[in-house]
Structure 1
Amino acid sequence: MGKDKLKRFAEVDTFSNVVQLEAGQPYKGKWSSDFFKNDSPVVLELACGKGEYTVNLAKLFPEKDLIGIDYKGNRIWRGAKTALEEGITNVGFLRIQIENLLDYFAPGEVDEIWITFPDPQPQISREKKRLTSPRFLEKYKLLLKPGGLMNLKTDNDGLHAYTAEKIEELGLKLHIKTEDLYHSPYANEVLNIKTYYEKKYLKDNKNINYLQFSFE
């Protein structure tokens, strides 16, 4: 492991806005009241990487509590550090495996979930690893409040099509579907947030897909 990564891991341990791999998660069911010290809606970004979307959503929606979730602490470091430096108090980061979400959040605790540019896991043998596979969707359904929204933004046409199929197969409610976000009527201030990787995709003239759906 490089010196920079080791330095970031050590620094993340000192960040007040990062929770790491805690057994018996003390904030389960109490993220707003005990972690953020308020009663605001909770919004998650899964596989948040460097936390660019998480931080920018927090800036746009100071009335909401944003939590970026990723397993790689050296990635979380960037978003957490930015939030601390800029005094953004409605954003936090949680370092866990996403498949363990139910250990860290109570049923109905979450208002909205974002998945932005996840690993598409294109091999058929890795379908269960896709963050929009039925096994993950079942977890999200438990966590979300009634009517809570799911958002998937991806450059991967295959993952977009796969997710749209699952929405139909499972009888979920589709709100928005587009294969070319920035040439659609849906490109608002929220969806115009661009991560480092998205900017690279756009330079290569890659289309950006977007889905918004709910479980009822």
Structure 2
Amino acid sequence: MTNQTWNAVDNYIVANLIADDPVLDGVLARNAEEGLPAIDVSPAQGKLLNLLVRMAGAKRVLEIGTLGAYSTIWMARALPAGGRAVTLEFSPHHAEVARANIESAGLGDVIEVRVGAALDTLPGLAADGAGPFDFIFIDADKPNNPGYIDWALKLSRPGTVIVCDNVIRNGVVVDEGSTDANVRGARAAFEILGRDPRVAATSMQTVGSKGYDGFILAVVG
């Protein structure tokens, strides 16, 4: 199998299962114009997040790592009337682009963007009584996964779904001697969620237009 095959299959999935969406296409176009890195989830992955939010019956979503709000919009569209999403973004420029994208999607009254290092803004969420959240998506800098997961658990309830992205790292996650901070952060996610008795978790390897990676899917008991 090659990346060319993975891309072709991803294109097939999108062509058959995901409707054309000028709004989301515009989000990706604006992100590129504004110089944001092209590291958004793929359309197939965005649809998966949308379906997971719906399956969980989530009314409150927390996202750690906004970028240009492509994944945020996918999740927020799955919320019922009165649902809310909070997304945390380190970069003021990325947050500005994200807010413009959110407005273009008609979700300005559903999604709140908080700016700053997530480990600084997460305590504010707790202080504001924003939780507990029903669905939490962790997709930020990987070395800080331990802190993000700790806060995700603090801001969860029994039944909360937690998804932690980019944990397979092209297969290098199995290298216990790796000095790569991203790999170490991925391994920490496995270790923390795997040993917490409150959590039931599994992980899926993925291939596609984003290459070879994967995510952890967990439910808080």
For the superposition of Structure 1 and Structure 2, which TM-score range results when normalised by the shorter chain? 0.5 to 0.7
1:180 to 185, 196, 206: 206
Instruction: Report deviation, 1:45.
Output: 0.7
Q: Is the 8 A contact 2:69 2:102 kept in 1?
A: no
2:84 is matched with 65
Q: Which amino acid aligns with 2:113?
A: F
1:26 is matched with none
1:124 is matched with none
Q: Which amino acid aligns with 1:71?
A: F
Are 2:160 and 1:148 aligned? yes
In structure 1, stretches of 5+ residues that fail to align are 1-7, 9-39, 122-129, 183-198
Q: Is the 8 A contact 1:179 1:210 kept in 2?
A: yes
Are 2:214 and 1:209 aligned? yes
User: For the residues of structure 1 that align with 2:111 and 2:156, how far apart are their CA atoms?
Assistant: 19
User: For the residues of structure 2 that align with 1:181 and 1:148, how far apart are their CA atoms?
Assistant: 26
In structure 2, stretches of 5+ residues that fail to align are 1-33, 35-57, 174-182
User: For the residues of structure 1 that align with 2:104 and 2:160, how far apart are their CA atoms?
Assistant: 31
1:103 to 124, 130, 144: 124
Q: Which amino acid aligns with 1:97?
A: A
SS class of match (1:48)? coil
Identity %, equivalent residues: 12
Query: Once superposed, what is the RMSD of the aligned Cα atoms?
Result: 2.5
Are 2:85 and 1:80 aligned? no
Instruction: Report deviation, 1:137.
Output: 2.9
Q: Is the 8 A contact 1:67 1:92 kept in 2?
A: yes
Q: Is the 8 A contact 2:142 2:186 kept in 1?
A: no
TM-score w.r.t. the length of structure 1 is 0.58
Q: Is the 8 A contact 2:138 2:148 kept in 1?
A: no
User: For the residues of structure 2 that align with 1:85 and 1:167, how far apart are their CA atoms?
Assistant: 36
Per-residue CA shift, 1:34-67, capped at 9, x if unaligned? Answer: xxxxxx8220110222221111211233543122
1:164 is matched with 190
Distance change >3 Å, CA 68–CA 207, structure 1 → 2: same
Instruction: Report deviation, 1:181.
Output: 6.0
1:115 is matched with 138
SS class of match (1:60)? coil
Q: Which amino acid aligns with 1:179?
A: Q
TM-score w.r.t. the length of structure 2 is 0.57
SS class of match (1:146)? coil
2:114 is matched with 94
1:55 to 73, 85, 93: 73
